[in-house]
A and B are shown apart, each in its own frame.
Chain A
Amino acid sequence: DAMVIQNPRYQVTQFGKPVTLSCSQTLNHNVMYWYQQKSSQAPKLLFHYYDKDFNNEADTPDNFQSRRPNTSFCFLDIRSPGLGDAAMYLCATSGTPAHTDTQYFGPGTRLTVL
C-alpha cells in the first residue's frame, strides 16, 4: 500500500544531543511537510518542501533543520533539543501545494527529551 512512513516511532534523546527523524513516502508526492504537535494542541507547521524548494515558516526556530535528498525521503534535524521540543512530529505529503490537495499524514514520531 502506498503510504507515509516515519522512523522511529518513538525517539528518546538527551538535552542538547542532536537527533534526526526520518520520513519516507511511496506516494511519489511533490510536497512533504513537517509538523510539530504537542499534547492537546494543534499540529504546527514547521516547514515544507515543494520538490527541492524549501519553505520555512517564519516562527520555526533555527534549531530545526530539514533535508530532502530525493522525492521519497525527508529528514528533520533538531540540532540541540531542549525540553520544550518534546512533542509528536508528523510528516505529511501532498501531490501539490494547492488548496484543493489532500495531505496524507504519517503515524508520527514521539520525541522525548531527557
Chain B
Amino acid sequence: QKEVEQDPGPLSVPEGAIVSLNCTYSNSAFQYFMWYRQYSRKGPELLMYTYSSGNKEDGRFTAQVDKSSKYISLFIRDSQPSDSATYLCALRRNSGNTPLVFGKGTRLSVIA
C-alpha cells in the first residue's frame, strides 16, 4: 500500500461548482498536511497548510483533515476556470527534518 493515495482524475466540472479533492494515507505519523496547486508547465505552489484534525478556510478554499480516518480533503467553492490545474496533497511526519510525501495529484478542469 502506498503511503499517500490520490485519485489522479481528470475531474471536469462546470464553472461555479463545488469541487472536492481527496487524499488518503496509511501512516498515522503524518501530522502536517498541505495542498499544492500546479499549473501546466509550472512548479507547485502552496495553497493550504493545516496541522491537526479539523477545517481551515481561506477564501473559496477549505482544507479538511480527519486523522481518525486518515483522510484529507480540499474543497473549492464557486470554482473558476482559473482553478484549472493539478492539485497535489503533501504530508509530513512530526520529526524535524523529514521530507514531504506527495500524492500523485488530481487534474481539475473548470469549464466556463
Binding site for B on A (CB under 8 A): 4, 6, 9, 40-45, 48, 50, 55, 57, 90-92, 97-100, 102-108, 110
Contact = CB atoms under 8 A, between A and B. Distances in A.
B64 to A, nearest CB: 20
B96 A42 contact: no
Interface residues of B, number: 28
A81 B98 CA distance: 28
Interface in B69-103: 88, 92-103
Given A42-B88, A42-B102, A103 B46 contact: yes
B60 interface: no
A25 B75 CA distance: 32
Given A41-B104, A42-B4, A42-B88, A98 B97 contact: yes
B61 interface: no
Interface centre among A41, A99, A100, A105 (most CB of B within 10 A): A99
A5 to B, nearest CB: 11
Nearest to A100: B32
Contacts of B105: 40, 42
Nearest to A90: B43
Contacts of A41: 104
A102 B44 contact: no
B32, B36, B43, B100 — most chain A CB neighbours (10 Å): B43
Given A42-B4, A98-B96, A103-B100, 8 more contacts: A40-B8, A42-B6, A42-B88, A42-B104, A45-B99, A90-B44, A104-B45, A108-B43
A55 B38 CA distance: 26
Contacts of A9: 41
Contacts of A103: 46, 100
A113 to B, nearest CB: 19
B78 to A, nearest CB: 26
Nearest to B6: A42
